[in-house]
Amino acid sequence: MEYIFSLARWIHIFSGFVALLIFWLPIVTRKGGKLHRRSGWVFVSSMATVSITAFYMGIYLIYLDAGTASGDTPFSWFLIFISILSGATTWYGVRVLRFKGRRISHSNTVDLIFPILLITSSIGIMIYGWVIGFPLLQYFPIVGLFLGGTQLKYWISIPKTSSHWVVEHTIGMLSTCIAAITAFTVFGAPRLLQVESVNLLMWFLPTLVFIPLIIVLTIYYEKKFTDVHKKHNRL
């Protein structure tokens, strides 16, 4: 089991660094272009691998590794939570493209399970965080609660604008970036800097940086698609 855990850890580290190195390419390249699509799929594949390995390692550390220090348990639970968050947002960002032409409420079971799982895990981790008095687990799951709620609302609602799919795709992928960079800040940065932990503000910095970017891009794409739609109607 230790060998499997070690292998999973190295795969997780490698995939995480690939995701961190490439995540900006789909953001700055032409949407729908070859480089955007290819770099996007590399990012999605890397984050899917990160999510799966993180979930396994979290379960292993809590339930299978009898030598885990009690102080590491909250971080192990956060590892599980961040794996659910990154997996759910990655899945969402890809699936909204698959159903970009939908005109009715979406009822695919798998697509609804992910946001429901994200919501329930967010609530559970928040309760656990308040019980043990661990700030990261007290407040960061609010991000997951909000994202899970908006994803579920999107799927069960009827789209009202032509830009719905590109807006939600952008939100999903940038939310995945939040998960990736936050995980690096919590687990990777302290080890690279050889410090026990970083300031609480640093844990939330990726969220504080990416939320304004999500808002700006959402407004941009909504306006862009509205202008294209109006131009098409005039023709």
CA 81 to chain centre: 10
pLDDT at 30 over 90: no
Q: What confidence score (pLDDT) does residue 68 get?
A: 54
Between 143 and 209, the higher pLDDT residue: 143
pLDDT at 69 over 60: no
pLDDT value of residue 47:
94
Reported confidence tier of residue 200, pLDDT bands at 50, 70, 90: low
Residue where the block lists tokens 């695919």: 108
223 or 87: whose pLDDT is higher? 87
**Is pLDDT of 70 > 60?**
no
- Across residues 64-90, what is the average pLDDT? 81
Query: Domain span at residue 190?
Result: 2-230
pTM (2 d.p.): 0.85
Residue 235 lies in a domain: no
Structural domain includes residue 193: yes
Q: Does residue 216 surpass a pLDDT of 80?
A: yes
Query: Is the pLDDT confidence value at 197 over 70?
Result: no
Residue 191: pLDDT band by 50, 70, 90 thresholds?
Answer: low
Poorest-pLDDT segment among 56-65, 208-217, 219-228: 219-228
User: How many domains are contained in the chain?
Assistant: 1
Asked if 149 contacts 172 with a C-beta cutoff of 8 angstroms, the reply is no
Query: What string of H, E and C letters represents the secondary structure of the chain?
Result: CHHHHHHHHHHHHHHHHHHHHHCHHHHHCCCCCHHHHHHHHHHHHHHHHHHHHHHHHHHHHHHHCCCCCHHHHHHHHHHHHHHHHHHHHHHHHHHHHHCCCCCCCCCCHHHHHHHHHHHHHHHHHHHHHHHHCCHHHHHCHHHHHHHHHHHHHHHHCCCCCCCHHHHHHHHHHHHHHHHHHHHHHHHHHHHHHCCCCCCHHHHHHHHHHHHHHHHHHHHHHHHHHHHHHHHHHHC
**C-alpha span between 159 and 9 (Å, rounded):** 40
- In the chain, the percentage of residues whose pLDDT exceeds 70 is 86
Is residue 185 included in any domain, yes or no?
yes
Distance CA 26, CA 38 (A): 9
Residue among 90, 91, 100 at smallest CA distance from 165: 100
